[in-house]
Copies of this chain bind each other. A is one copy, B any other.
Amino acid sequence: MMRADIDVRVCEVGLRDGIQGIDQFFPTDKKKAWIRAEAAAGVREIEVCSFVPPSVSGQFVDCEEVVADALKLDNLTVSALVPNLRGAERGFATGVNKMNFVLSISESHNQANVRCSREDSLDRFRQIAELRGSTAENREVTLAVGLATALGCTIEGQVDPGEVVRIAERLLELGADELAVSDTVGYANPTQVRDVYRLLRRHLGDDVLLSAHFHDTRGLGLANVHAALNEGVRQFDASLAGLGGCPFAPGASGNIVMDDLVFMLEAMGLKTGVDLDALVVVREIVAAGLPNEPLLGAIAKAGLPKGFAAAHVAAATNF
């Protein structure tokens, strides 16, 4: 068997999770420039928008245009969030490669976030999966589901891991291809991350693609990535410059920082396919598009270690 050219897949979610809470409109041309530059830096998957109605967010009125531009790029999986059947219809019409549905494990959070019960959310996903199965073209599209608040909830506090398993099983029965264990509010710790992946593996078997969507709100984002790596997780969401802080915690960070994530993985000898120097430069596009947003990230401030590139080339993957 040929050796895979990357060890870990990193997925940019800044253009969706990163900007969805920001009032300032991120200009369409700068969204396209961001996607093009980050794909050129080697990132293989980018969630480029959210197919929500304009009444929910003005940030995504340009979805169709952004997706169309992104689909011109080689070697890029173009994904988009779809909240319901209507969003999925728009998504299928654009020819997006992958759709991400989100459901909260916490009932209260699901009600607060998407204004329906988890059962209703499961039914929405069932409708989307049926639409996916309805044509040969649609069947080319991957369906992923984010298990929001899988590791804690701002309303309910601790979340029962048994509920994560139960809902994960339902989603797989309905046709989900991937499940993203999501620390939506940055509550997780490494022991908990280890435990929930082990539990899911035990119940779901080895073949289900389990990815990780972690936030760094309480500083443990990359420690949690390390714990997930130890459990065999090889796909991680992140946001360039950590875009996407929580409006309820001023100064608190949001998604884990893509640039720092790539640094950690590459430093560990895990190939991401990403050119770190080129990636850091993409931050300038984000800064230009959102001049009032703080950009986070340690590598961008401190620079790469001396001799890092050479060491990286020489390092055997011994993780």
Say yes or no: A305-B190 contact (C-beta < 8 A), given A222-B220, A222-B222: no
Residue interface bits A217-252, CB-to-B below 8 A is 1, else 0:
111101101110010000000000000001001111
Q: Which residues of B contact A249 (CB under 8 A)?
A: 301-303
Q: How close is A310's CB to chain B, nearest CB, in angstroms?
A: 8
**Which residue on chain B has the smallest CB distance to residue A266?**
B189
A186-B302 CB under 8 A given contacts A158-B307, A268-B191: yes
Are the CB atoms of A153 and B306 closer together than 8 Å?
A: yes
Least CB distance from A83 to B in Å reads 25
Is A299 close to B, CB under 8 A? yes
Q: Complex: how many Å from CA A299 to CA B297?
A: 17
With A218-B263, A219-B257 in contact, is A298–B252 under 8 Å at CB?
yes
Q: How far is the CB of A94 from chain B (nearest CB, A)?
A: 35
Closest B residue to A155 by beta carbon equals: B306
Number of copies: 2
Distance in Å: Cβ of A150 to nearest Cβ of chain B: 14
Cβ contacts under 8 Å, A189 to chain B:
264, 267-268
Residues on B with C-beta less than 8 A from A156 are 306
The SS class assigned to the A binding surface is: loop
Is A55 an interface residue, CB under 8 A from the partner?
Answer: no
0/1 string, A63-100, CB within 8 A of B gives 1: 00000000000000000000000000000000000000
Asked if A157 CB lies within 8 Å of chain B CBs, one says yes
Query: C-beta contact mask, A256-283 vs B, less than 8 Å → 1, else 0?
Result: 0100100110011100000000000000
Q: Does A216 contact B (CB under 8 A)?
A: yes
Instruction: Using A218-B299, A219-B263 as known contacts, list a sample of 17 further A-B pairs with CB atoms less than 8 Å apart, ordered by residue number in A.
Output: A153-B306, A154-B306, A155-B306, A157-B308, A158-B307, A189-B267, A191-B269, A192-B268, A216-B298, A217-B298, A218-B298, A219-B260, A219-B299, A222-B223, A223-B223, A223-B226, A249-B301
Name A's B-contacting residues (CB within 8 A): 152-158, 185-187, 189-192, 216-220, 222-223, 225-227, 230, 246, 249-253, 257, 260, 263-264, 267-269, 297-299, 301-303, 305-308, 310-311, 318-319
* 15 residue pairs bridging A and B, Cβ less than 8 Å apart: A154-B306, A157-B305, A157-B308, A158-B311, A187-B305, A189-B267, A191-B319, A216-B298, A217-B298, A218-B305, A219-B222, A219-B263, A219-B264, A219-B299, A253-B298
